[in-house]
Amino acid sequence: MDPLKLLEQSRLIFSASEVDYAIDRVANAINATAIDKPLVIMCVMTGGLYFCGKMLSKLTMPIELDYVQVNRYRENLRGGDIRWTKFPTVDLNQKTVILVDDILDEGITLRAAYDQCLALGAMQVLTAVLTDKKNHQNKPIKADFFGLEVPDAYVFGCGMDVHGWWRNLPEIRAL
């Protein structure tokens, strides 16, 4: 599929300035939690990279940084089976982990990452997502911090892709 045609056929959901404001709000909320235990920011790749990268410089506490790579979409528009490419490598024992991801859609991938962090000894696991999809599904996990609520449509930009393209858009669009 032609990436330029995908962009032309989409509609703007949130502008770059609205996204930036939402990222600031999430970072401020995390800073206000005053976590006084060892903190690990765990980016859920590849989608969470944009949000995590933008948010990191706004966090005011010392952190360790790691990432997991787990997904269900792999350039498809529909989710499939969970596939792990990289597990956490930082010692999570007795630490607070904040999982950072692009979207809470069905919640299956984020729940798998959450459960894995607990299995590796995390004392507490929190979740921060840039977007929470308003899809009226009974999700297996709830975001502790989220920036924007998106409609029940296929959205892309700010880390979310469409057929592998446009993760780099500073705005959020929908097909």
* Residues 6 or more apart in contact with residue 133 via CB below 8 angstroms: 103, 104, 105, 149, 150, 151, 152, 155
Helices (H) and strands (E) counted in the chain, each on its own, are 4, 9
Instruction: Write down the pLDDT at residue 80.
Output: 60
Instruction: Label the pairing between strands 83-86 and 96-104.
Output: unpaired
CB-CB contact of 114 with 130 (8 Å): no
Q: What is the DSSP letter of 157?
A: B
Residue ranges covered by each domain of the chain: 3-174
Instruction: Write down the pLDDT at residue 89.
Output: 94
Q: Which residues of the chain have pLDDT under 70?
A: 72-80
- What is the spatial distance between Cα 54 and Cα 144, in angstroms, rounded to a whole number? 18
Burial class (CB in 10 A: 0-12, 13-18, 19+), 139: middle
Instruction: Write down the pLDDT at residue 83.
Output: 82
Q: Say which CATH architecture domain 3-174 belongs to.
A: 3-Layer(aba) Sandwich (3.40)
Instruction: Write down the pLDDT at residue 57.
Output: 95
Instruction: Write down the pLDDT at residue 79.
Output: 55
Residue 60: asked if its preceding bond is cis (omega within 30°), the reply is no
- State the residue for tokens 């979310």: 160
Has this prediction a pTM greater than 0.75?
Answer: yes
Instruction: Write down the pLDDT at residue 73.
Output: 56
Instruction: Write down the pLDDT at residue 45.
Output: 93
